Structure 1
Amino acid sequence: MEKTAIDDVEVEVNPMRVHAVRRPISDALGFSDFAMNYFELESGESFSGGLHTHHDQEEVFYVQAGTATFEVLIPDDGDGVSDGEPREVTVGAGEVIRFAPGEFQQGYNDGDERVVGFAFGAPKAKHDWGQIESLVHCRECDDEVGHGVDLTDDGRFELTCTECGTSFSIP
């Protein structure tokens, strides 16, 4: 059995600096099969660095306070690639939203009130970076397409176009 207070878990910020408060509860308690992160998002901050999916994990977000907006892009033909346009879904205090593997999403605070919430993922506490895909503009293909994501030794994200193989790093 393990126990901790959320305020006792050290803040670990996304390398892209898209939020100021993220507390990795799963790391603090040594989870192996389940991920849990606590967030406080000020206006303009997000849970992640952009529209992305996890092919190896479903994600659930619970909003404890405030209102989060999720940009979602759901695969519509079973091949894991959406042909549709992103849409917005609002999730208020006391509400939960789930994303299956392959569903692209990005949650953020576009209001003035602080958002407090949790992100849960299963079946793993740590991501298999080869199973994460981000939807971004390819500099070579000149289109918004899927990019594989890898975390470099210096804490930067390296994105590689799944269509042409062009890579670039951020930030």
Structure 2
Amino acid sequence: MEKVSIDDVEAVPNPMNVHEIRRPVSKALGTTDFAMNYFELDPGESFSGGLHTHHDQEEVFYVETGTATFDTADEEAAATVEAGEAIRFAPGEYQTGYNDEAADERVVAFAFGAPGARHDWDEIESLVFCRECGDEVGHGLELTDEGAFRLTCGDCGTSFTIG
């Protein structure tokens, strides 16, 4: 059995500076088949760096306080999630969640993922604009040794680094 206090889990900064407080609870607990992260998002901050999917993992977000907004690749499927509500994204479903810039309060939320306690970077894909292709297409994502993200276009192979 493992037990931790959320406040005792060290906050890990995001390489893209999209939020200040993310506490990797599953890492502190030593889980192997389940991911759990605690977030505090000030207005304008997001859970991730943009529209992305995990091909190998479903994600569930539970909002404890505040209101989170989630956009998807299908613009009509955007959703707001209030305190006490949860939302699920299937593997392969593009999403990005954030606290709106005009919000009056911080969002406190948990992100859960399964299977797996850590990301398989080969199974994450971000939907971004490719300067070479001239369109928004899926880009493979990898973490560099320097802690930045390298995105590679799935259509033409053009790469660029963020962070």
TM superposition score category, shorter chain reference: over 0.9
Q: Distance in 2 between the 1:86 and 1:28 partners?
A: 37
User: What does residue 10 of structure 1 align with?
Assistant: 10
Counterpart CA distance in 2 for 1:131 and 1:153 is 18
Count of matched residue positions in the alignment of Structure 1 and Structure 2: 161
SS of the aligned residue for 1:26 comes to helix
4+ runs deviating over 3 angstroms: 84-87
1:10 maps to a residue whose letter is E
Q: Which residue of 2 aligns with 1:169?
A: 161
Matching residue within 82, 88, 92 for 1:102:
92
With normalisation by structure 2, the TM-score equals 0.96
User: Where do 1:5-154 residues align within 5 Å?
Assistant: 5-73=5-73, 84-85=74-75, 87-110=77-100, 111-154=103-146
Partner of 1:77: none
Q: Secondary structure at the match of 2:27?
A: helix
Alpha-carbon distance, 1:11 to partner: 0.3
Supply the distance in 1 between the matched residues of 2:113 and 2:44 (Cα, whole angstroms). 23
Amino acid at match of 1:91: V
Aligned-partner Cα distance in 2 for 1:129–1:41: 24
- SS of the counterpart of 1:28? helix
**Unpaired runs of 5+ in structure 2?**
none
Alpha-carbon separation, structure 2, partners of 1:10 and 1:17: 16
Give the letter aligned to residue 81 of structure 2: V
Q: Aligned with 2:78: secondary structure?
A: strand
The answer for the alignment partner of 1:76 in structure 2 is none
In structure 2, distance between residues paired with 1:88 and 1:57: 20
Q: TM-score of the superposition, structure 1-length normalised?
A: 0.92
For the aligned residue pairs, the C-alpha RMSD in angstroms reads 0.9
For the Cα contact (< 8 Å) 1:151–1:157, is it kept in 2? yes
**What secondary structure is seen at the aligned counterpart in 2 of 1:27?**
helix
Q: 1:86 to 1:105 in 2, by over 3 A?
A: farther
